[in-house]
Amino acid sequence: MVLTSLTSTLTIHKQTKRDKMKTETPTIGSSSVGAILGMSPWSSPWDVWARMHGLTKGWSTAATARGHILEPAIGAHYAKINNVLIKEGPEYEADPIIGPEEWMHARPDFFVTSDKAKWLLEIKSTRKFDHKWGLSGSNGVPPYYAAQCVWQMAVTNDDRCDLAAFATLSDEYRSFHIYRDKALESKIVDYVGEWYDKHIRKGTPPDVDGSTGCSQSLAKMFKQESKTFIEPSEDHIELAVTLKSLKGQLAQISEEKRHIENQIKEQIGAAYGIAGVATWSQSKPRTTFDRSSFEADHPELAKKYLIKGDTTRTFRFNYTGEKK
């Protein structure tokens, strides 16, 4: 298996010297570029703004933890099959590499050297290679990862950034080649520079958006409630009317969706599915844990294994009126 091979070849050439350039002002790193450009499925411009102003902190997920664990092994596998040497980039706690502008920084995962050239290496792990990923050897990576590579090359002045990725569900390894495009690079740097000047230097917050990252940051930023109510303004009512309308549309669309699904199910009948259209498969019986009975029968044991989670806030929409 590829993962076994990755782990068994875990021989990394440690970087012993790093060019460290210090800066006291917040700087934009490559991992934030996709969010600023509106490409990231996990973060958003508002999320980046909140973190850079110290209003919220980043969070670690099972996916990020998995990525950190697999990163050295994927890098070693890349080095072995390509017969190159790799050196670790600056660690998170270390000073990053500063780019041509003082507000630009990068922490490449690895620096690659061969007999004829040098380039950067970015490491990614994913559950599976979906439609956003191309074939190995191409430049077909998700746009938010491509933007990250573009930014790193802009900072380090390298002309190539490879991306090595491993899909855990399929046990599949792929590598990609991103070459420097100075025209695209200039557009991205200019856009991010304008964003930085407006939202970081001048402090103007971006508009909140519908991204998961924005929702998570708002929940962290306003974790505690004051048990008070705000008197509704015209803006509040306008937002409420819009949300009420959207909820009504979503309910109608959901009903129409179920209607079409049921029509297809009727056509499938007792068959497994309609080839190339849909399947209607039979799931295995669900096994659940009867927590109430267990707590009643073994109260002390149940209490011993209870884990108290963090407090959360629940959003409930209860507007019923109409805009006057």
Question: CA–CA separation, 201 vs 181, rounded Å?
Answer: 28
Q: How far apart are CA 274 and CA 280, in angstroms?
A: 9
- Domains of the chain, residue spans: 2-221, 234-304
- Selection from 70, 290, 29 nearest residue 168 by Cα: 70
Choose the weakest-confidence range: 23-32, 43-52, 225-234, 247-256: 23-32
Q: At the top level of CATH, which class does the domain 2-221 belong to?
A: alpha beta
Are 164 and 78 in contact by the 8 Å Cβ rule? The answer is yes
Backbone angles phi and psi of 205, in degrees to 5: -70, 140
- CA separation, residue 304 to residues 253, 280, 310, 311 (Å): 46, 42, 18, 20
What token pair was written down for 277? Answer: 């259209």
Q: Give me the pLDDT at residue 322, please.
A: 60
How much is the pLDDT for 24?
A: 55
Backbone angles phi, psi at 4, to 5 degrees: -65, -40
Buried b (16+ CB within 10 A) or exposed e, 152-165: bbbbbebebbbbbb
pLDDT of res. 17: 31
Q: What is the CA radius of gyration of the chain?
A: 25
Read off the pLDDT of residues 12-24 as tens digits, 9 standing for 90 and up. Answer: 333 333 333 334 5
Question: Model confidence over 206-248: pLDDT tens digits?
Answer: 999 888 778 888 888 888 888 899 999 999 999 999 999 999 9
Instruction: Tell me the pLDDT of the chain averaged across its residues.
Output: 88
pLDDT given at position 310: 77
Per-residue model confidence (pLDDT) at position 23: 40
CA distance 196 to 193: 5
% of the chain at pLDDT higher than 70:
90
Band the pLDDT of 92: cuts 50, 70, 90.
Answer: low
| pLDDT number for residue 221 | 83
Q: What are the tens digits of pLDDT across the range 99-131?
A: 999 999 999 999 999 988 999 999 999 999 999
* pLDDT number for residue 174: 97
C-alpha span between 221 and 23 (Å, rounded): 26
Does the pTM exceed 0.75?
no
Closest CA to 15 of 115, 125, 101, 118: 118
Pairing of β 118-126 and β 160-167 = parallel
Which pLDDT value is given to residue 215? 86
Per-residue pLDDT of 159-171, as tens digits, reads 999 999 999 999 9
Q: How much is the pLDDT for 313?
A: 87
Mean pLDDT for 267-273 is 96
- What is the distance between the alpha carbons of residues 83 and 142, in angstroms, rounded to a whole number? 26
Q: Are 88 and 172 in contact (CB under 8 A)?
A: no
Average pLDDT over residues 41-49: 90
Segment 51-69, tens digit of pLDDT: 898 888 766 677 788 888 9
- Which amino acid, one-letter code, is at 193? G
